[in-house]
Structure 1
Amino acid sequence: MVVLSKMTDVGANTLGPFDAIDCTCYEMCHTWNSSCMGTYVDTFHKAFVYAFKVYAPLYLLNALWKLQKKRTDKKRLARSTILQTLRSTLFLTMNGTWVLMVVCAYGKIFGKFHGVSGFIVGLISSFLSIIIERKSRRGLLAIYITNLALEILFKMSVSRGYVTPINRGEIYLFALSNVAYMSYFRGSNLPSYLQSVFEKVLGNDETKTYKIREEREHSSVAGNKFIFSLKKMCSYLLNNLNSIGSRPPSCCHGDSCVAYSARAAIKFFSIGYGIQVLMNYRRIFQALLRSNLSLLGKSFLDFRLAKFFCAYVTVFRAINCFLRRAVGQDNPEFFGGIAGFFSGFSALFYPSTTLSLYAVTKLLDIFCMKAVATKRLPFFPNFDVFMYSLSMGIVYHASIFEPHNIRPSYWSFMKGLSGYKFPLLFRKLLDRFGTEATKMYPNFVPDLDPKYVITPEVQQVLASHGKWP
């Protein structure tokens, strides 16, 4: 029982990242199928179906959006939509298939698995997958996965006691990153696509280059009388607000500052509420099917995103107007940064670590692109491929050694991509690395075929759980 104690005791015999345990790929990884080739085929099939379900609706919606344009070649659009859907589906499918193939190759080459094996396997398999995807999508994928990897590294550091989390730290992070975003936005220094998005949300009245006030066209309202009446009431309310206060010469918007901010509050509260209801559609359907009025009420009375959108835009506009009025002139970058900081605290209504980290990651990407453009940093070709592979190496390491540190929504995604096989790894063999590998599945022991279990240590662990003849 000496060997068994070594396999199960994590205290004094914790292994390091370059230490190894003796086991085969079947004994630890694809425990549900003793055949490596059979595992690849089964995983490819299930991953392809899952990936197609993910990408097909996205590309279909994109195609429908493009069809609204008058000069759209329908045949060309249909062909490109099908090809892009299949290519992205294959990329995601191979992401789940390559990792098993590389794991098996690693086990056969070294005859054991090291503490860094998850990272190495993930890095190689992710590189082989990302080169399948279109170049135009690699940057977005790299940013998203880098964001996820940073979150995992932070959780790893917390679980090991290296850092102490700050209460509401994601709020401060979002507010600080928003300083740079809003300063760039008001100075029209963001990338064109991002500048366009912020102009639609915050209004192009706030951009530095917007100097001419455009006259609004008053079109007649047709359609439902109720909608017409509702619009008339809102218009009446805003016209009354417009009479309150004034607009200083340094403000470019046409209304008074009060009406300018109030219009944003009403508009974006409605938009945020609509998006939140759409996000809760599953809960709403479940409540309707079960006649659960309590759950239905909670789904429709969820105002978190509405309050976030409303506060974000309203505070940004109001503070910019206040600063312009107080100083008597506009300073776009400086005022934008101040307003961005305070509007960033709207995240109190919708705290999200994912959103905050994505904002920071994207901001770093903008800094790097500007530094490359001004030749302060050298240009690295295929840097997005490198970052994606490196970040996915971290994600795959966590999925094997410490899945409890992965964002729950992404862990569910990884399970679905693997055909719900990721939880079936024999993680009790990995407890010696001190990563709490079995924290999520403490009682799971696979039913391995005795004919293919050749490692004595694995046999003893199985015997201790009554699964060895």
Structure 2
Amino acid sequence: MAVQSKLIDGAIKCSCQEYIHPWTASCVNGAAGILLSSAPSSMRTYCIVYLLALVMKMRIPRLLDIKHTIIGILTSSAFLTTNAYLFSLMVCVVRRLVGGFHLSTVALIPTFIASFAALCIERPARRTPLALYVANEGTEALWNMLEAHGLVRSIPNGQVLILGCSLTALLYMYRRGVHKSKVKDVTFKALAVLMAKGEEGPMKATEVPSKQVSSRPPLNLRSLSAYVQLYDRLRNRKHPSCPHREGCGTYVLLGGLKPLLGGVGLQVGLKLLLNIGRIVKLKMDWRKQIFTRNSLQLGLALGSFSLIFKAVSCVLRNACGYDAAYFAIPAGLLGSIGLLQYPNITISLYVMWKALQMLYNWGSEENVLPKVPHFNMVLYASFTAVLFHCAILEASSIRNSYYKFLVNISGRRINLFDRRPFQSLGLKSHDRLQEVIKRLKIDMTNPLPIMPLTV
């Protein structure tokens, strides 16, 4: 009782109506309103997601594919709608139980409960991708929040360092052949496209002669044909331990050229897709949108990473006389220099979380790490709680795209939540919200959200 009394005395005396549903005195109406307004937005969001997934299969959909797509859209929409509805409801329930609001009960605890419960609705196959997505968003938001309070400090090209280390870990597993027995994931298929089959594990035992005597006559560098022969020797030279068929020089050059062309094609294709409306209206500025150095950045990053990785791997094989999976570590770290061409925090954090996921799966399969039940659900609920905490108390910490997503899902309610009662926490939540509204040019003329249910 003494602990409960201390909690109540230290709480911010603010009703849930003042904070989360100032347009209605009823908590039930407040939760029901967000339920009705989030359902259409959730349906639109997942219609796009599942239809894109259907198109990406690159084949005419069968009746079974259409059935699974419809069920997936309905299930995922129900999950997202429930998450929004339960958040509003849990805020009111927790406030009544505690007797007020604390830093942890404004958003963190209610969101964790709501997110964990809502994820039970979603299909098990979708839970891990959702957890990785919010972990990506939440990690950046958490870092921005800590940096704003002076607790951490960013370093130049830190995102490149994260991406380089993550790719190195993935490539080490790829060279170990983990993807063939222990951890099967579509990410390894992407690595196979980037690295080709030449670097795929597991390692095959190769008998390398201790000493090779060259039977080729010495070159007479005074003749032109000697330089042609020298070029041919360099192009076709290959150590017996190298797993690729062609010469090391050809292997390295083609290994850089193919990802370069693929990256440029991918980036140009995405730009064309995003500007399809302008192309149809003949208003596309081709010079500024396509024919720029920005269109080369992804290709240059992938190409140079692959080229350096393969070059270092071949040098190590030639120098040591054998092949080993751990060669991927120095090769990957040195290849990270090429990633400076395309620094992107979103991609870096996504690859980091994928690498951590697969390292954990590998460790649990080898009985090195314990298997935590429902870990993906706990991860999702934890980082969703961080995102909601930032969106309400430190709105400038989260990405603009995610804040817009919350605006749509909540039916504009997240802008109307009153942060002024929490000014005593010292986070300047109301001022930060006004900065975000101004930066994103959000219309605040309407004092009511979608489906306010004021009656």
Flag whether TM exceeds 0.5 (same fold): yes
Q: Which amino acid aligns with 1:104?
A: C
Q: Which amino acid aligns with 1:323?
A: L
Q: Distance in 2 between matches of 1:290 and 1:111?
A: 60
Runs of 4 or more off by more than 6 Å in structure 1?
A: 240-243, 443-449
Q: Distance in 2 between matches of 1:327 and 1:341?
A: 19
Alignment of 1:20-419 (within 5 A): 20-64=11-55, 68=59, 74-117=62-105, 118-190=107-179, 191-193=183-185, 194-209=187-202, 244=235, 246-281=237-272, 284-285=275-276, 291=283, 293=285, 297-301=288-292, 302=294, 303-331=296-324, 333-419=325-411
Deviations 1:395-451 (A, max 9, x none): 2111111111112222222222212321222122222212231243338899989xx
Q: Is the 8 A contact 2:393 2:429 kept in 1?
A: yes
Q: Which amino acid aligns with 2:139?
A: L
SS of alignment partner, residue 256 of structure 2: helix
1:198, CA displacement in angstroms?
A: 1.5
Percent identity of paired positions between Structure 1 and Structure 2: 26
Q: Which amino acid aligns with 1:341?
A: L
1:429 aligns with 2:429: no
1:156, CA displacement in angstroms?
A: 1.9
1:270, CA displacement in angstroms?
A: 2.3
Q: Distance in 1 between matches of 2:313 and 2:322?
A: 11
Q: Is the 8 A contact 1:181 1:340 kept in 2?
A: no
Q: CA RMSD in A?
A: 3.2
SS of alignment partner, residue 200 of structure 1: helix
Assess, with a 3 A threshold, how the Cα gap between structure 1 residues 65 and 356 changes in structure 2: closer, same or farther: closer
> Which consecutive unaligned segments of at least 5 residues does structure 1 have?
1-15, 213-239, 450-469
SS of alignment partner, residue 429 of structure 2: coil
Q: Distance in 1 between matches of 2:428 and 2:56?
A: 47
1:64, CA displacement in angstroms?
A: 4.8
Q: Distance in 1 between matches of 2:49 and 2:445?
A: 37
Q: Distance in 2 between matches of 1:241 and 1:202?
A: 24
1:121, CA displacement in angstroms?
A: 1.0
1:335, CA displacement in angstroms?
A: 1.2
1:106, CA displacement in angstroms?
A: 2.7
Which of structures 1 and 2 has the larger relative contact order (alpha carbons within 8 angstroms, sep 6+)? 1
Q: Distance in 2 between matches of 1:52 and 1:371?
A: 38
Q: Which amino acid aligns with 1:77?
A: D
Q: Distance in 1 between matches of 2:374 and 2:392?
A: 27
Q: Is the 8 A contact 1:424 1:446 kept in 2?
A: no
SS of alignment partner, residue 355 of structure 1: helix
1:88, CA displacement in angstroms?
A: 0.9
Q: Is the 8 A contact 2:164 2:332 kept in 1?
A: yes
1:280, CA displacement in angstroms?
A: 2.9
SS of alignment partner, residue 329 of structure 1: coil
1:119, CA displacement in angstroms?
A: 0.5
Q: Is the 8 A contact 1:28 1:426 kept in 2?
A: yes
1:140, CA displacement in angstroms?
A: 2.0
Q: Which amino acid aligns with 2:328?
A: G
TM normalised by structure 2 equals 0.79
Q: Mean Cα displacement is larger for which, 17-26 or 351-360?
A: 17-26
Q: Is the 8 A contact 1:284 1:296 kept in 2?
A: no
Assess, with a 3 A threshold, how the Cα gap between structure 1 residues 122 and 334 changes in structure 2: closer, same or farther: same
Assess, with a 3 A threshold, how the Cα gap between structure 1 residues 413 and 277 changes in structure 2: closer, same or farther: farther
Q: Mean Cα displacement is larger for which, 94-103 or 254-263?
A: 254-263
Assess, with a 3 A threshold, how the Cα gap between structure 1 residues 278 and 39 changes in structure 2: closer, same or farther: farther
Q: Which amino acid aligns with 2:144?
A: K
Deviations 1:301-341 (A, max 9, x none): 2222122222222222222122223333222x121111111
